[in-house]
Every structure is written in structure tokens, then in C-alpha cells.
Amino acid sequence: MDRKPNILFSMSDDQRHDCMGCAGHPFIDTPAMDRLAEEGVRFANGFTAVPLCAPSRASHLTGVYPHVHGVAHNKRRMNLGKLTWPEALQEAGYRTGFVGKIHYGGTGSVEQGFDRWVSFPGQGAYNDPVFNVDGERVEREGYHTDLLAEYALDFLSEEDDRPWALCLWYKAPHAPFTPPERYRDVYADAEPPRPATLGASREGKALSVQNGEGPGCTDDWYPDGVFQAKKTWDVFMRDYARTVRGNDDALGRVLEKLDEMGKAENTLVIHTSDHGFFNGEFGLGNKRWMYDPSIRVPCLVRYPAWTAQSGRVAEDLVLSLDLPATIMDAADLGVPDHYQGKSLKPLLTGEGDWDRDAVFMEYFYDAPFVAYPSMQCVRTATEKLIRYLKDGERDEFYDLAVDPDERQNRIDDPACAEQVAMMRKQLDMEKGRFNYVVPDLTVEYEGYQKF
């Protein structure tokens, strides 16, 4: 009987789709991510189902949107009745492990579906962190990402003949964007890439965007004022890249371990991010808004058994929900009927049909962040419609074929009336297909200090 493949699921926090050497970043070094792109497939149009940490992570475990699994914002617990793919793999004889940031639930406990876990409450600390190791409080000295890599290597080194599945989900490069000490001064002379819309006017966008009070929204921050995490824009940009490089180091150590163990050929490796991040486009920092810097994510997949053409860059629209479906398919368990994504196997093998022409995304109001209303988005290869679930707002439509930077909201342009009508219809169709509802957004627990 053929042995089931191992699963390595690597995920950054806040890593943009273009913050990799293989994606054209002008100075960052990401040899491990570049290796996955060279030996697998890089999906250039990967999107998150929800541009927020905890909801996205729950979606990556369940294969469904937040309105289904219940983690509608960062302070909601997951509906434990929803079977996660790690639970399904456990039942199929897999050994499962989790190392890194889970965020939802408050304590860093990730028992559901995992034999072993290492996590932490909330965001954790970059240096000398406290971990929740299988329910035990453990204080460590060192840099957070490096320590996660050590725990991941320990999991891989355990003597066990079963196939395994491991999530290695970093806290980096989340604020305060603290890089490892070894990279403190790297890129000091590099010129950070300026987004085409750096500090551009938000005129014409939704009122919540225009009047937003989120990070980066204050006036006159460029070039010398505070942009993010008490850092000027150029310092932030360099530290952001340095911190991502720390993630690449961790991924590289694990890939080397797979080579050493002779497991690379029979391991499905995924690298992605929970969502993107603004680098000052329209004066914005953070994520949450439905513009491309926030919703586009890196998506690298290497699985030799399925890769028909290694090193290929696929332009197809793919969604974060496709990754759980792909894992289930690779494990030969079939994609569950309730999953809301699709297996990427046809795009990896070049066999079978891939008929997606749009991706749907959602975001729900998070009480501590009043500047961000609930919103919905549908995006095709050439168009985008954003709908706000707040009275008095103005929806947005972008013709990406002529305006890829999303500068001009043409929702009320008579010349685009037919396109807008079609996109509104498409959005409503997506909502119907996914049984969309606005969940109860009541906060269920306070803070993250329960561990």
C-alpha cells in the first residue's frame, strides 16, 4: 500500500504576496521560499478568505469562511462542532503537530486535532517568549521564530512510523516587526520599494476609508513621521523585510531536515500568509480593508507527486480555503462536501478542470477597531466590487484592467454601470453559494491573558 504523504504547512502573519525574492522584491533574501517556488508552483494570485489574523487561521484549519466556523473577529472562539482537517487526518492515522500562532481562543491551547502543540496567548513576544507547550507554561530565552523552528524540528525527529502533518505558523512579521538580532542592520543601505500609491489621496473611497483612524491613517507621516509600531516608513519597511527573512530561515531549516530524513519527495509543503499588509498605499497601514495589498497572499505549493512542471508561476485565482481542500485531497481523504474551497490538484498536475472566475472575501466588525466596518468583496481577474455593511457608506468598484492600483472608484460612473451591475450580481451569487450570514459579533472573551 502506498504511504500517505506528510504535510508541512508553513504560514506567516502579515506577509505580503510580493515580499519574497521569487515574487520580485528588490532586496529581500528568501532562499527557502524561492526554493519552494523553483521546485513547486507559485500561485501569483493567491487571496485570503478574510484579511484578519484569528478568523483567517480558523479558516485555514476548517476549510470554511468565518461566518461558518464562528471566529468572526479576533475575540471569538471557534465552533468546536466544525471538524478540522487535522482531526480528519488523526482519524486516518496521522501524527499531527502545531507550532506557532493560533490567536483565536485566548490561551494558545490548540488541542483540537493536534497530538502535540506549541503556541502562546495572543501575539506573544519576539524575544524571550512564554509558550504553551501541550498545556504547560514554558519560558524560553531567544528569538521567537528561531524557537518555533526548534520545536518543529523536535516534532519531525520523534521516532514514529506514522505519516505526519505539521503546522508551522509564525507570529512574524506582525507588529512590532522585530527582526532577529543577526539581521538588525542588514539592508541598511537598501532603498525600500515605494508603492505606486504611497500616501495617495483616499478621496472617492468609502467614508470609513476616508475617515479611518487605523494605523498609517494620520496625516503627514511620510517621510519622517510615525507610520507603524512607532517607526518611520523606511525603518518599518526594512524591519518588515528583516523579520520575514527570519521566517525564511525557519522554513529553510525544516526543509533541510526533510532532505536529511529523505522525506522531501513524499511531503506536501505549503507556504502562505494569513493575509497581506499595507505598505502605505493610500496612507494605509495594517490590513482589514479589501484592497489588494491586504487580501493578496504568498502561495507556494511543492508536492513532487503532483507537480507536472516545477518552477511554474500560475496566474489562476486561488483562495486560502483551497489549501485545506488540497491537504485533504493529498491525504486521499477526499474534499468534504461542506468545504468551501477546492483542491489545487488540477492546477498542480495540469490535469482536470479549474473553472473559478471569481473569489469572495468577507470581514466582520471587530469592536476594538471601530474604523473598520463589516464588508464583503468579490474579485475577478480584472474587476473588484467592495460592499460595506454600514449605513451611509459608499461601495467601491475598480476596473483593474485599466486601474490595477485601485485609484479610481467608479461605482457611480455611468460608463461602468453594466460592469457594476454584473459584479453586484456576482457578489450576491457568491453569498448564496456559501450560505452567507452576518454572525453574532458579540465579544465572547476579554483579553488574551488566561494562560
In this structure, the number of other CB atoms found within 10 A of the CB of residue 351 comes to: 10
Answer for the pair 141, 106: CB distance below 8 angstroms, yes or no: no
Q: To which H or E segment does residue 242 belong? A: helix 233-261
pLDDT in tens, 250-270: 999 999 999 999 999 999 999
Write down the pLDDT at residue 19: 98
- CATH code at position 88: 3.40.720.10
Predicted confidence band of residue 130 (pLDDT cuts 50, 70, 90): very high
pLDDT in tens, 178-195: 999 999 999 999 999 999
Is 406 domain-assigned?
A: no
Answer for the pair 200, 281: CB distance below 8 angstroms, yes or no: yes
What dihedral do alpha carbons 235, 284, 397, 400 form, nearest 10°?
A: 0
Predicted confidence band of residue 103 (pLDDT cuts 50, 70, 90): confident
Query: Looking at the predicted structure, is the pLDDT value of residue 448 above 60?
Result: no
Tell me the whole-structure pTM to 2 decimals: 0.96
Is 430 domain-assigned?
A: no
Is 112 domain-assigned?
A: yes
Is 387 domain-assigned?
A: no
Query: Looking at the predicted structure, is the pLDDT value of residue 217 above 90?
Result: no
Write down the pLDDT at residue 199: 85
Query: Looking at the predicted structure, is the pLDDT value of residue 446 above 60?
Result: no
Is 231 domain-assigned?
A: yes
Is 365 domain-assigned?
A: no
Is 176 domain-assigned?
A: yes
Residue type, 225: G
Predicted confidence band of residue 360 (pLDDT cuts 50, 70, 90): very high
Three cell numbers written together for 7: 504535510
Instruction: Give me the chain's average pLDDT, please.
Output: 94
Number of separate domains in the chain: 1
Q: Give the structural domain span for 58.
A: 6-354
Residue type, 129: P
Write down the pLDDT at residue 1: 38
Query: Looking at the predicted structure, is the pLDDT value of residue 447 above 70?
Result: no
Query: Looking at the predicted structure, is the pLDDT value of residue 415 above 70?
Result: yes
Is 419 domain-assigned?
A: no
Write down the pLDDT at residue 366: 87
